[in-house]
A = this chain, B = another copy of it.
């Protein structure tokens, strides 16, 4: 729904623009960690600049719409913050499998050991291995 995405933007004080809606749409239709270049490819033909994508990703992350995901590669990957799950990543081919062991207790445990932090905003849990295909 375009209404949902517009509302999401306005609720964090961002202007609703075609570029932003398009980028959010890519994230909605493709729910796995993606990078700027991928979005750029997907939006070829609708006249959007790669720089704008970088700026938008960064803005969205600040506003809590997107979450940075460590896929252990060259480029920065993001996914919708509302899709809170973790990833199993193949060191060989880079395939990503999503799992949902999200454990709120983790944050609590971590915080209880911390001396320098009062609260935790987010966490990132990624597993690395070699997938069955690459293993063969």
Residues of A at the B interface (CB closer than 8 Å) are 68, 70, 72, 86, 88, 90-91, 95, 97, 99-101, 106-107, 109-110, 113-133, 135
Q: Are B109 and A101 in contact, with the CB atoms below 8 A?
A: yes
* Distance in Å: Cβ of A62 to nearest Cβ of chain B: 9
Q: Are B110 and A88 in contact, with the CB atoms below 8 A?
A: yes
By beta carbon, the residue of chain B nearest A126 is B124
Q: Are A128 and B132 in contact, with the CB atoms below 8 A?
A: no
Instruction: Pick from B70, B113, B129: contact of A101, CB below 8 A.
Output: B113
When chains A and B are docked, how far (Å) is the Cα of A101 from the Cα of B109? 7
Q: Are A97 and B70 in contact, with the CB atoms below 8 A?
A: no
* Distance in Å: Cβ of A59 to nearest Cβ of chain B: 15
Q: Are A70 and B120 in contact, with the CB atoms below 8 A?
A: no
By beta carbon, the residue of chain B nearest A72 is B68
4 A-B pairs with the lowest CB-CB distances in the bound complex, closest first: A70-B70, A99-B113, A121-B129, A120-B129
Given contacts A106-B101, A125-B124, contact A135 B118 (CB under 8 A): yes
